[in-house]
Amino acid sequence: MADLDQNTVTEAVIAQMADTPDPRLREVMASLVRHLHGFAREVKLTPAEWLAAIGFLTRVGQTCTPIRQEFILLSDTLGLSRLVNLMDDKANRVGEATETSLLGPFYREAAPQFGYGESIATRAKGPEMMLFGRVVNEAGEGVPHATVEIWQTDADGAYDLQVNNPEVMDMRGQFRTDAEGRYAIRTLIPLGYSIPMDGPVGAMVRAQNRHGFRPAHIHVLIGAEGYRELVTALYLGDDDHIDSDTVFGVSESLVVHPRAGLEGAPDPALPSVRYDFRIARKAAHDTSGRVGADPSKIAAE
Ligand SMILES: [Fe+2]
């Protein structure tokens, strides 16, 4: 046998994995090994640094619970979630569909259902706003009976999971568009927030002298029969961190400015945002565009 050196070890590993029956797994793992080894050679990774990385990833895993997903947070803060989103958009977005944004670590399935114009703030208190508009298709026609699901922080910048016990859902809800594709949601003006800084990802962000804040936003997930699911968010343009989101989720087309007296607003006295979401037809090969999941589902797998 030939002795391995710091270059030939890479090909030896790939050769040993060459019989992987699943071709995609074979491709992904070979590339992972090539880049991982290349990275270690480039930074001349030391045993102490290797051990520190193992310890870091161990803590990331240990921090995950049914209501907290530290690995998604790590992916988000490294820009990997945005990258995967951008690539998926490029491959699958049809025409002028609304831009996507991150699902994030605070999405939960089975949020309560509300009627047109009702408020998702069942417990939290604070200044109110209204979000209304239509869900339309590529031709600009309203999509009836689409599900519009939203979740956001309260006026103090906290998600329900961070202030209540996990059984309590607040500041999240599911709506349905009417026969013309219209929706209207009453909610609180969200506040920007810091990602959880008490775990290993927070320690990483601090070590990099980054601020850890996300600008105020409202998460949106739209689904309709025959259409591609849209995962996106609307960002409040007057937030101090609108240009430096710690998880790189903001796009210009998703920035909004709530204001009172808006034409057609269900309650003109309230600061309101009119936003039409455009969704694309589902292609035959379409898979889920969600970069993320309800943390309890990941923990259960
Ligand atoms: Fe969020």
d(CA 4, CA 9): 5
Distance 104 CA to ligand 1 centre (A): 6
> Is residue 177 pLDDT above 90, yes or no?
yes
pLDDT the model gives residue 297: 76
- 10 Å Cβ neighbour count for 165? 8
pLDDT tens, position by position, 64-95:
998 889 999 999 999 999 999 888 887 776 66
Distance 35 CA to ligand 1 centre (A): 31
d(CA 206, CA 228): 38
pLDDT the model gives residue 94: 61
pLDDT tens, position by position, 101-125:
988 878 888 899 999 999 999 989 9
pLDDT the model gives residue 137: 95
Structure-token pair, residue 89? 């958009």
Assign 272 to helix, strand or coil.
strand
Cβ–Cβ < 8 Å for 234, 216 = no
pLDDT the model gives residue 96: 80
What CA–CA distances, in Å, run from 179 to 68, 116, 183, 185, 189?
37, 12, 10, 16, 28
pLDDT the model gives residue 93: 65
Amino acid occupying residue 158: A
Distance 132 CA to ligand 1 centre (A): 20
Distance 193 CA to ligand 1 centre (A): 8
**Mean pLDDT across the stretch 276-298?**
78
Distance 131 CA to ligand 1 centre (A): 17
Of 85-89, 259-263, 278-282, give the lowest mean pLDDT range.
85-89
Distance 291 CA to ligand 1 centre (A): 13
Structure-token pair, residue 227? 């259409």
Distance 3 CA to ligand 1 centre (A): 51
What is the DSSP-derived secondary structure letter of residue 215? -
d(CA 206, CA 203): 5
**Mean pLDDT across the stretch 280-285?**
79
> Is residue 165 pLDDT above 80, yes or no?
no
Nearest-5° Cα angle at 231, 225 to 233: 135
pLDDT the model gives residue 104: 81
pLDDT tens, position by position, 147-158:
999 999 998 888
Spell 37-51 as b/e; 16+ CB within 10 A means b: beeeeeeeeeeeeee
> Is residue 272 pLDDT above 70, yes or no?
yes
pLDDT the model gives residue 210: 96
Of 8-12, 18-22, 159-163, give the lowest mean pLDDT range.
159-163
d(CA 46, CA 48): 5
pLDDT tens, position by position, 207-241:
999 999 999 999 999 999 999 899 999 999 999 99
- Cα 258 versus chain centre, distance: 22
Cβ–Cβ < 8 Å for 254, 242 = no
Distance 295 CA to ligand 1 centre (A): 14
pLDDT the model gives residue 1: 74
Cβ–Cβ < 8 Å for 101, 231 = yes
Distance 254 CA to ligand 1 centre (A): 14
Distance 18 CA to ligand 1 centre (A): 41
Distance 9 CA to ligand 1 centre (A): 42
Task: Provide φ and ψ at 254, rounded to 5°.
Answer: -105, 5
Distance 134 CA to ligand 1 centre (A): 22
What CA–CA distances, in Å, run from 54 to 38, 235, 275?
18, 36, 45
Distance 77 CA to ligand 1 centre (A): 13
